[in-house]
Chains A and B, each alone.
Chain A
């Protein structure tokens, strides 16, 4: 037989190209479905609106519970959008292709999580100060609120993606996803709400923010591998 004209390829690398293309692809897809991007934000705003109605419009009372309310509502809003993180890729077969790419799956899944944070976590963090006004959040804590949410939601996206990856193969994984992921969110919630509380009281916030940063660093190190392993398990099922 003739020498084969279809040569065997050596692994070419090009990880950055693949990661960048995945970022661009997911951003494009989400920006074309604006509704999905807006849903968590609307949810966040609606939930926050409910509290003054249900509890009391008294500014002093609202100001004391505002940090916790804002953080819990933002956390739930971020959770709401997690279920769709891998769902459509699973349904149309692109997830199989992602797993078969000659690239480390952990890196590619971080790209997907980064897009989720950019279009869910970051907008929530930017919107929170506005809702803070509604809850009579004392001035001076707005920047800390936004910063703590920006840092915190990044960890939430990474941790939540593990749950999303584990439940992607299940028809109704949404509830299970919340049960899996919410307990893991507690440390982030404690230090996130704590940072805002400290800012209101005039204490130093750097310790809280540093711990949030540390949580993010730890999630960035560990979560990608867990996400990749979970995706493999889901595809196997």
Chain B
């Protein structure tokens, strides 16, 4: 009984906490100061069509670096905790049709993932989404039970190479432009608005993030389910 009362009190407290948001809610008709700075800066200074990408990669670039680091630590934790045991595989083999179909789809899904992270500055999506899509392609191979041994040295190399390269690109900003421009994409020419090779280093950085996320999540998936 007392437990129920406490649950109800907690719910009531949550309602009281969120009530002001509901009461003061109104639709904004125009952008605020910071948002209009982002939108105009993204179009005029960075030549990037997708404002979300330019916020994630440039204006909040350091946060993205931290996010990627958190993902790396999570992968390291999973790899440390779930060390592989030798288990005999006795599950039923999947049919020829399923195996061939998933091998066909694998290529298409990888291609879509690469498209999403290379076009991060033009269309919605970017490194994280593309990387997860690449992981899904490997997941399809695991689920279809194709006898597949992941080459862990290649995964490890791609992961650590992209991590180091990301920081090096950031340091190039300090070297070439100035003290306050870690991860500034203007180290490469900005190009024409709306072209694939534009927006400075944004496509490069997002491709690196895509490779890093893809290889890390593939390692997690392989550790958890690939046995």
Q: Do A and B come from one complex?
A: no
Contact surface of A with B, Cβ cutoff 8 Å: none
Contact surface of B with A, Cβ cutoff 8 Å: none
